[in-house]
């Protein structure tokens, strides 16, 4: 991957701590990792060493020695070793891409907190040629992600041309992704749009907000069925922000069942049927490939979620 070795700070970036800025810009590295390489002198500010808590100013120049940064990072037990023990289901594949059904509990790519046993490790065991596909060596073939606790459909590119095509299509919002979710409370509207900006607060938690650091985010929803204390719905994201559906549904007072990060205390009294995961499933993908051929994939709820809808809520 070609990385930006020099970054000139503009007015939107000014005022942010340098370690926070770098962790947000280069998400494969954690904030603590940036703190360590800053301390080691591999990140310079205006050609000088600065502490990790330095607050950036307009026209500051950050210089990063990525050759050393990546060398250090790879030594921290991050593994891209192919692993056939990693299980995932292939829904469809051709010469350009793979559609997989990601199981719940599987992390998509290696990170410092989860250095191995990821989907990428499994993909490399069966598709070794994707090793050099993409723009990040830790995410070969990965054009979009699902959270560890979320199951469902994902696209994986098998070559660089397809990777760039799908990345562009996601950027232009031409790939339709739909999810199924069970939320707390009754949503009165049959359908609606949540248009609230999303970003990270001072504690690093993704939330809604109005300041310049928060980015536009839009989520569409439509009610499938209402229950006594719950609503089963379909959600579609028009932007690709981190935890977007989860944050947006909490913001309108209807957090997703089983979400242990974005929840409201008032709903904890309700029984969630012993569910050990978030009730969020990526069930539908619609797109055209680079030749213009249309594709439509659907994957029904996994058994543990289907049982709740069909048996425990009826």
Active site residue ranges? 147
- Alpha-helix residue ranges (DSSP H) falling in 212-286: 244-251
* Phi, psi angle pair for 170, to nearest 5°: -65, -40
Report which of 115, 42, 25, 130 is spatially closest to residue 79, judged by C-alpha positions.
115
Tokens of 258: 């089983």
CA distances from 107 to 81, 114, 121, 218, 314 (A): 15, 8, 10, 25, 33
Q: What is the DSSP letter of 148?
A: T
Tokens of 302: 């996994």
Pairing outcome for strands 151-157 and 280-288? parallel
């Amino acid at each position: 991957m070609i990385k930006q070795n020099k970054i000139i700070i503009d007015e939107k970036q000014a005022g942010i701590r340098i370690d926070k800025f770098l962790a947000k810009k280069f998400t494969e590295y954690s904030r603590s990792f940036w703190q360590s390489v800053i301390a080691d002198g591999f990140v310079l500010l205006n050609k000088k060493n600065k502490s990790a808590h330095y607050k950036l100013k307009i026209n500051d120049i950050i210089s990063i020695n990525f050759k050393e940064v990546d060398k250090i990072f790879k030594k921290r037990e991050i593994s891209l070793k192919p692993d056939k023990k990693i299980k995932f289901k292939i829904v469809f594949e051709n010469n350009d891409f793979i559609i997989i059904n990601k199981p719940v509990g599987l992390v998509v790519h290696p990170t410092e907190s989860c250095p191995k046993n990821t989907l990428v490790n499994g993909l490399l065991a069966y598709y070794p040629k994707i090793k050099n596909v993409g723009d990040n060596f830790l995410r070969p073939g990965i054009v979009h992600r699902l959270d560890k606790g979320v199951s469902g459909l994902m696209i994986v590119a098998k070559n660089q041309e397809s990777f760039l095509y799908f990345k562009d299509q996601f950027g232009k919002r031409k790939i339709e992704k739909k999810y199924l979710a069970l939320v707390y409370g009754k949503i009165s509207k049959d359908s609606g749009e949540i248009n609230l900006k999303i970003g990270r607060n001072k504690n690093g938690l993704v939330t809604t907000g109005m300041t310049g650091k928060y980015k536009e985010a839009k989520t569409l929803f439509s009610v499938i069925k209402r229950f006594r204390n719950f609503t089963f719905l379909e959600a579609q994201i028009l932007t690709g922000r981190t935890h977007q559906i989860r944050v947006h549904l909490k913001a309108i007072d209807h957090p997703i069942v089983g979400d242990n990060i974005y929840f409201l205390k008032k709903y904890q009294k309700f029984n969630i049927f012993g569910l050990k995961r978030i009730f969020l499933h990526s069930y539908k993908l619609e797109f055209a490939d680079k030749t213009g051929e249309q594709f439509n994939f659907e994957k029904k709820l996994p058994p543990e979620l289907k049982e709740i809808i069909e048996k425990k809520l009826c």
